Structure 1
Amino acid sequence: MVALRNILGIFAEGELRSRKPRGTAASTGDLTKGISFVRGQTLQPTSVPAPAKEEKEEKDAKDDADDADSDVDSRFVLDASVPNGNFKPAVEGPKLPARNKLSFNQMSSSYGKGFAMLQKMGFTGGGLGKHNDGIANPIEVQKRQSKRALQDDGEMVDQDLYGNEGGRRTVEELLSMDRAPEKKSTEPKISDGWKRDGKPKKQKTIYKTAEENAGEVPAMRIVDMRGPEVKVASSFAELAANLSGDSVRSLKEFRHNTRLLVSRYEDKVRLAAERKRHCENVILSAAKEQERLQAADNISEADVKGCKELVVEMESLRERQDEGSIGLSELAETFHRLERSRPKEFHLLQAIDVAFALALPTAKRELSTWQPFKAPELVLKAMAKWQDLGDKERFSALLDASLIPQLRKALVAWAPRDFEPCIRLMETCQRLLRTEVADSLVAEVVLPRLRSEIEVWDPRIDQRSAHLWLHPWLPLLGRKMEMLWTPIRFKISSCLEKWDPSDPSAHGLLKPWQQVFDPANWDPLIEKVLGRLERSLQETPIKPDGQDLTAVKSLLRWLDLAPLENVARVLETALFPQWHGALKRWLRTEGCNFTEVLQWYQGWKALFPPELREQLVVQRHLAHGLEVMKHVMAGGEALGPEEPTRAGAEKATANSRLPVEEVSLSLSDYVTQVAAEEGLIFLPKKQQRNGKHVYQLGAATIQLDKNLVYVAPRGGEGEWKAASMDELLKLAKATKK
């Protein structure tokens, strides 16, 4: 038995007891004491003294009771009594929650179907299990190198499955961490000599110079304590990288908490403001009540008698109001009389509240049969008497409850093209009521009704233009109508898409809006019109023998609406290139009649109005045509297809094939030369025209402007006219005679 106990240790008692028949006494150890497991080979054999007879009987009885119940130690039974009364359950500290090292996106891309199955089974992050206290990170597997057997060290993966490592550390722990690069281990590495083709490699010796050793600077440590975790950076570059990445993400919790705090205190501030407003109203009400009570204390018996008489009069007014025998105007005049005759009693009894209380049903009764467009002054005059009786708030409340609903109802059913009754109604409102009342009606009812009518207006099929029923509102509304111009411009612009430039109806459609539209709405329409006219001019050929002037006349029709410089630009782009080409082709034909060419030139020149001929672009092209005609009539060859550009007539003449002498000769020099050849006087006068000098050629008065010569009218009455050199010489000589 001693040998068996030496081998089995503490479990020998149970083994011996189990071999005895049930009911026999056997000695057992005290199981309430701690158990210490000792290896059998180190336990020395000792002699065990025999227990006393009484102790043996108690132990046998206890063993029998334990065997009858179970073979489980009482310490492991939940309802077992605590021995000796001093047993205390173990108390554990707080358990750190499990944390995932990988995000959901990383786990989904790495584990795919397995991660999807985890989500279906209720995985929402953290650890596994019902209480989320299991492992939180997938078990990593370390891949062994090829042809390498099991090793004593390095096989286990040092992995934190619960994500509790890397927690917060103190500054001392962080500073004690060695951030310097790890030094190479001096221990010999595992040799590859055991491999079949392995050969031992000789370790490479690295030598450093004294400069390299002296240049080694100990690593710098920067402790960053701005985020939720303390971090240590070895350089400013690493610190900047942390700031651009983790630090921004680490502020999410801070921003969230800040928003919560702001929203919480916003509610508190709002509640405090409402409470303050309520307290102010209570204080004002109490002050008014105190004033009323003080006034009531100071009244005399005569004042009391006057108050009773005032009450009787107001009661009679109420009875008449119930009967419908008093109107709104008479009611206002009566309360005005009572306020003037009994001001103290009127104030003590707060009769103004009674007045407006009686005015509301009276106003509703009269307004129920009122027709605003036929008789706008009928009710408005009576309503205007009430705005001087009470304060602004009481009068506004009376209007909102009685007058405004009736006006809105009438304006909603009003046809905007029938403008006269509505304008008369709005003028009456502005004259009798406060300005803000009329402005609110205009902004909330009148302008939306006009806008809705513009939406259904179609300029292509509507026989009545929109300006007929919109422009009468301009004196009353003014700049408030600017919100209507943009939709009207869109309507007109859509009509111009397929407009024929020969159709004069577009001019009549746009003319009324010239002084109404602002530049932002007017300029796009004019540019669209000129674009259509320019394309029409480009498609019209220039034929000296049978010219179609429809496109040109269509363009000149818009001179009163379009800027002159824009019309001149259209002529320069679309007309004059063809005009120069036709002139040069005509001059190159054999047997060309120069008289017909001159008449053709004069006809085109007379076609343009004087204000258009004074535009620099038109002057340049006409002067260039005149120079070409003069050059050919003088016996020169016809010019090529070049025409003048905006750089000036000199450049256009230089690009042509004129002789160099004529190209370099200015108009003033040319007139001087002609005057010398003809024996005429050419002297400047002491006057100017349009900022340019005036000259005397013979007895004629002329002005030189670029390549044109203007001649003064005879007798000083009339307009200055441009003339050719032949006409100028005839006038100068005829005047001389």
Structure 2
Amino acid sequence: MPHFNMASAENGDDSSDSDHRHKRRKTNMMRPAAPNSMANANAAASPAAPNSFAARMMAKMGHVEGQGLGATGRGRLAPIETQLRPQGAGLGTVKEKTKQAKEEEKREAAFRGEQVEDSSEEERKRKRRLKEKRKPEATSGAGTEVPKPKQKFRTAAEMEAAADGLEVPNVLKAIIDATGQETRLLTSTAGLLSSQNTMVPAETESTKIARRARRDLEDFTNEWNNIKERKTFFEDEEIQLSLEITKEDEEIRAMEGAIAVVEELQSLYLLVSDEESTWNAIIEKVELLERSVPTLEDTLGLREIAVAAIHPLFKAAMQDWKPLQQPTSVVPHLEKLRHMLGIHPEPTSKELALQNRDSYPKSQTKSTTRYETMVHTLWLPPVRSAIINDWDVHDSRPLTKLIDIWTPVLPSFILANVIDQLVVGRLSDAVAAWRPRRSRHGQPHEWVFPWLPYLDEQHTDPRSSTGLLSDVKRKLKAALNTWDLSSGVLPGLDQWRSVFKSDLPSMLVRHLLPRIALYLSENFEVNPPDQDLTPLEDVLKWKSQFPIATIAQLFVAEFFPKWHQTLYLWLTSDAPNYGEVNQWYQWWKQELNDRLPSGFNELPVIDAEWQKGVATLNIALDALEDGLDVSTQLEMPTAGPALPPAPSTPLATTPIPKPAHVFEAVTTFKDVVDDWCAENGLFMVPLREADMQTGLPLFRITASASGKGGVVIYLKGDVVWVRSAAREGTEVRAFMPMGLDEGLVARAEKR
């Protein structure tokens, strides 16, 4: 038997009271964690010591204290902080996110340009929305509830009045009373339903009968109104159906009449033998068909019927048709059927810019209509053949007449095909073959101008890089570079001024003015004894092509240096006749005044040259009066050619240098080849590459305006080297020298 030990009781025996002590050691579930555990958590959340191993390793990896983790510093600022829950507590007992986690979320959202709200703020907003949703829907502006409307009952008489045609028996009227102010008792003759304010405590069988009778009457009333509405609807539907039946009957009769007309159209070809009479008869029947069924045009396909009716006649007319000799053909008959064929007038054609003309409307569908197919199949082939084989491109009148007559009845795409593919092609070939010096077919403006109203912007814009006017511009530039100035103005140049506008003066200054200055410098001399004005007259033929100020600069650069040089030689000769010098001065001044535009001598630059001559003459007279040597008093002009002696006195034969020209034109062998190509209707196109052996730039000489075909050359010295054909079995092509002759023209014209 165990004995009770006082010491063991005082010291506590683990074996004897273990259960009791275990209960005392159990932690309270709602008590916060022990202080030592919170300290450990705070220590884990605090940053590492500056000299700790972790801090040193992070510093080696590039981490900067105070910044976040990662290369951009946008990572976490502090270690992850733990949030402890009481022992045994489930999720949601406490807030799981710590303050540090919320701050990190806000920081990351700021980097992304977003804004994160606290969960507490979101909870408040959610509760506010729920509260607003629970409020009654019908409230006044001040927030007070609006009382519900009282339920209003109708009497039997009101129900009878609301249902038109419904008759309520008097028995029901006596039984049913929806509302009332006074108390009514249930009798055999009185109403069974008393006032709601004085209802008997217990609902009797009579009250049930009255309520059921009132409900049945309301149902009967509603059903009666529904039946009346359906009756009205069916009556309207009947009227609508009768109208549709009447319309369909009219359409059937119209279709029967149209079928009869179509049958008559089929028999017309057998009854009428004359072509003109057949056309008139068919047109009459088609117009009758259009008038008889004006509303069924799309349903019956009247356009297809009209095209089918005229197709045999149109085909027969196109078989032996000569478009240039008989341009009218069947156009008057087609114009009578404009509406039936789908031809509508328009003030202008957007596709071809044909002003003040009717044109075929642009099709809105991808497929062609029957009429368009007929014209494309039967009309276009003879017109194409006539333009290619029979039309003289230098005479535009037959073809323009044909196009003007057919434009009102032609589809736009067919007319565009004729202009862009056929006419423009022939005109481009004619411009390429034009030779300014030996043209037998007139000048380009005579056969290009009539087509300008028919062409689109690509061909009528002089600044365009491609097109008909661009080809003409290139030919004019080549002609100005090679034209003989003594032959006068290039024919047709004035007519192109209205087309090229500001481009033509620029072309003249770049390509013609330097040649005029060089011509005047090399061929004109100021010779008082035997003055030859032919070179000056050749130059003055071009005076209308330049502004008067440009002509004045030309004379200052090329004429007056020679004139001043002659005046100096005359005055410094032995015993000059000053009277003859004065007459010579006045003669030249009058000559220029007569040959040049009015006011030429009054221009400041020209007047300065005349005043310079007068000053030279006065200096010579003053030196003569003072007995001085005139040659020592006059300054010798710096420019001027060697001139023959004056009329009565010999002059010194000392050579005098030529003037420094304002308009310098350095001619190279490439310019010579360019001029030769222009004279022969060829093009010299740079290839933007060099020969592999010599390193010289390559060019292509060809007769095609597109720059294809022809021969490849390079220029070495004053020789043209032409690439020959590849040797048999190899791809080696040698260059051989070749002259600027017909042989090179023949090779360049090969396609």
Asked whether the two chains share a fold, i.e. TM above 0.5, the reply is no
> Larger RCO: Structure 1 or Structure 2 (Cα < 8 Å, ≥ 6 residues apart)?
2
Q: TM-score, normalised by structure 2?
A: 0.44
Q: TM-score, normalised by structure 1?
A: 0.45
